[in-house]
Amino acid sequence: MKSNKRHWFWNLLLVLTVIVCAFALTMHYKNWVSVKSDYIQVMSGFYNQSVHYNELDSVVFVARLPPMERLNGFSALEKEKGIFRAFKDSLTDKKVYVFVDNISQQKIKLVYKDSVKLYLNLTDSVKTVNLFNSLVPMLRGEIDAPN
């Protein structure tokens, strides 16, 4: 009887593929929000956006995302992440950044640099409300640095 063995290269390639997929999943699993003294940074895997407080135009809660066309990104279960384009702005090519961990909860809509939009929420709704409450004073310029 002849045993049919796999070549070591294919075994290595299979293991590396599983490791890379697991790494990508953990990177995109949740939004990583870093609140600094002069800007907020939102990261989720390959997507990264920094918003300076002095560039903020509005901070509001929205219940639903508007209809948009996905330029790149993904949707999985309750998550929606990536770069989108609003249907009504398809001629101007304005990008909308979406970092939503739970699509059924309220989202924070940040408008900055006069027209750039960023939708954001976290898995925990209490943390989303706390983040919103820390961003509103930054919009008004009432507080120099976050807690």
For the stretch 112-129, pLDDT in tens is 988 889 999 998 889 999
- 3 within a domain of the structure (yes/no): no
CATH number of the domain that 36 lies in?
Answer: 2.30.29
How many residues would you count in the chain?
147
- 48 within a domain of the structure (yes/no): yes
| pLDDT for res 19 | 95
| pLDDT for res 98 | 94
pTM: 0.79
| pLDDT for res 114 | 83
What is the average per-residue pLDDT within 134-142?
78
Average pLDDT of the chain, as a whole number: 85
* Torsions phi, psi for 87 (to 5 deg): -60, -40
Domain residue limits at 103: 8-140
Count CB neighbours of 32 within 10 A: 14
Task: Please state the three-class secondary structure of 11-25 as a single string.
Answer: HHHHHHHHHHHHHHH
- 1 within a domain of the structure (yes/no): no
pLDDT in tens, 99-108: 999 999 999 9
- 145 within a domain of the structure (yes/no): no
Which tokens in the block code for residue 133? 């409450």
Question: Is pLDDT at 84 greater than 80 in this prediction?
Answer: yes
Number of domains in the chain: 1
- 103 within a domain of the structure (yes/no): yes
What is the average per-residue pLDDT within 76-87?
86
- 147 within a domain of the structure (yes/no): no
- 30 within a domain of the structure (yes/no): yes
